[in-house]
Amino acid sequence: MSDRIYKLSSYVRTVLDSESGAAMVYHSLYGNPRIVNREGLDFLSLFKNPITISRALDDCDGDPSDVINEFSEIFFLIEPGFDEKKFLQQQREIRLLIVESQKSVDRMGLAISDSCNFGCKHCIHFQQSSCSEKEILPTYQKSVTKLNMSFETAKNCVDHYIALMRAQGIKRCKIHFGNAEPLINWPVIEKVLCYCESMTDLTFDFAINTNLVLMTREIASVFKKHKVRIATSLDGLAKANDAIRVTKGGQGTFDLILEKFDLLNEVGYPLDGFSITVTNGNFELVDTDIIDLATERGMTSIAFDYDLIALVGISTGERVEKLMRLKRYANERGIDFFGTWDSAFRNLTGGNLLLESRSFCAAVEGKSLEFNVDGSIKVCSHATSQIGHVDQFDQIFQKEGKLLKLVNERFPGADQCCYGCILEGLCGGQCHVTREVVSRLSKESGHNLFADMCDFYRQVTRALAVDYIRSNGVTVASGRSVCGL
């Protein structure tokens, strides 16, 4: 073994914490982060050029054989000529076979209504469907022939999903009600809940995204009975929220939303948190006071995101600084603070990417099916591109189908737009909705949007890594001392 030659992988990346001198070292394709001290960094630097193990031993006070073995197992150190994307290619083939055999899907969504009682211009559901860069029009202002899903369509969609689950031997099913404002179509939601209740061999995890304003005591009681997880938004305190979250007439919605918070408390089904969207319209107005409100109400989670589909006109550094400041403030008060921005970091620290494939989200892994009002199917409720229709359900999973094409193109390490990025295998090419919008913009505008979001994800992941280093201390190669140089 002493004559074996190793070199540092070109995919190894380092995030240094200047305060402690410690660093997070990781593989940009596979993850496997390790927190090392300066001696550990010096040890890795020995392998910048190919070197034999015996030569490396000469530069160390102790025996680093165990460390070399560990670093080679996670591809920090590789033999010259080794193809590091080979394992990802194998995983991609495995993932495609799983999708084609109809075994990838584990959740479904019903776009129960394309109508909305709000008039929020930033709403991600209401993207412009053409290549025009004109102002986005909400669905309720567009010419749409059908806004609400019928129960017949909903039942048909649920039946196809249930058949997939039963074929896989899965007993727990996940159904999400969403799109514009689903409570506009409450009668169909209630019928779906009752229909699923009749399937005694299965259990269901229900969820809904709603602005809450149409919530009644009766609806809340039904949701409580079926344990429907309620997700809603409150974009700051009154001034911040009402700057962007408005009715069709342009009135603020803060008081209306809080009334429904109280209603849910009264029926014994309180929210555990809410989402915050920040645009250039309320960036300066959102601050720690909204976290204080969540704390006062006994909430435990806040989903925070910047506008995904348009540049907010604020520098990446400012956005990251504010996000991290709010995250730390929330965490100190026992509130989980998360969003799409931590997807790459969760992939980095959440497991071994050599053993399991991970993408930016479940949609681009082929795990979710979103059924539109008319029965057409997408992979995400926020997306616009369709992959099929419930009436030709089996065709979705065919080798030449759009679902496999999407999974193949968006598999980590396969996206040419991401080659060489420090988050190449961890981010997997950003949110699919952003990619769709980029494809419809002019070349310059699309490039600017994509580049801005890439820069944002890289900077926020680096900031999260530094916080992780400071909260976890210094561990050198799983607790073993490397070498003193």
pLDDT at position 141: 38
Is the residue at 168 inside a domain? Answer: yes
Is the residue at 98 inside a domain? Answer: no
Confidence of residue 482 (pLDDT cuts 50, 70, 90): very low
Mean pLDDT of the chain: 89
Is the residue at 429 inside a domain? Answer: yes
Contact 320, 356 (CB under 8 A): no
Give the mean pLDDT of 143-162: 89
More confident residue, 415 or 109: 109
More confident residue, 452 or 132: 452
Q: What tokens were used for 192? A: 């779906």
Give the mean pLDDT of 106-115: 95
pLDDT at position 309: 72
| 371-416 residue pLDDT tens | 999 999 999 988 888 999 999 999 999 999 999 999 999 888 888 8
Is the residue at 6 inside a domain? Answer: no
| 171-223 residue pLDDT tens | 999 999 998 999 999 999 999 999 999 999 999 999 999 999 999 999 999 99
Rounded to whole angstroms, the Cα distance separating 477 from 67 reads 6
Strands 376-378 and 368-371: antiparallel
Domains contained in the chain, number? 1
How far from the centroid of its chain's Cα atoms is residue 378's Cα? 17
Element (H, E) at 467: helix 443-472
pLDDT at position 65: 84
**pLDDT at residue 98 greater than cutoff 70:** yes
Q: What angle do CA 175, 178, 179 make, to 5 degrees?
A: 145
Full-model pTM: 0.90
More confident residue, 353 or 300: 300
Confidence of residue 426 (pLDDT cuts 50, 70, 90): very high
Rounded to whole angstroms, the Cα distance separating 263 from 205 reads 22
Element (H, E) at 122: none
| 292-339 residue pLDDT tens | 999 999 999 999 999 877 666 799 999 999 999 999 999 999 999 999
**pLDDT at residue 465 greater than cutoff 90:** yes
More confident residue, 228 or 449: 228
Contact 406, 99 (CB under 8 A): no
CATH number at residue 173: 3.20.20.70
Residue 416 neighbours by CB under 8 Å, 6+ apart: none
Is the residue at 60 inside a domain? Answer: no
Is the residue at 20 inside a domain? Answer: no
| Backbone angle region of 331, left / alpha / beta, with phi > 0 → left and psi within -120 to 50 → alpha | alpha
**pLDDT at residue 128 greater than cutoff 50:** no
Residue 346 neighbours by CB under 8 Å, 6+ apart: none
More confident residue, 145 or 24: 24
Domain containing residue 309: 105-440
More confident residue, 16 or 91: 16
The residue whose two tokens read 């050599």 is: 354
pLDDT at position 89: 86
Is the residue at 138 inside a domain? Answer: yes
Confidence of residue 473 (pLDDT cuts 50, 70, 90): low
| 262-279 residue pLDDT tens | 999 999 999 999 999 999
Is the residue at 91 inside a domain? Answer: no
Q: Which of 76, 68, 61 is nearest to 483 (CA)?
A: 61
Least confident range from 21-25, 105-109, 397-401, 431-435: namely 431-435
Q: Which of 324, 330, 355 is nearest to 342 (CA)?
A: 324
Confidence of residue 345 (pLDDT cuts 50, 70, 90): very high
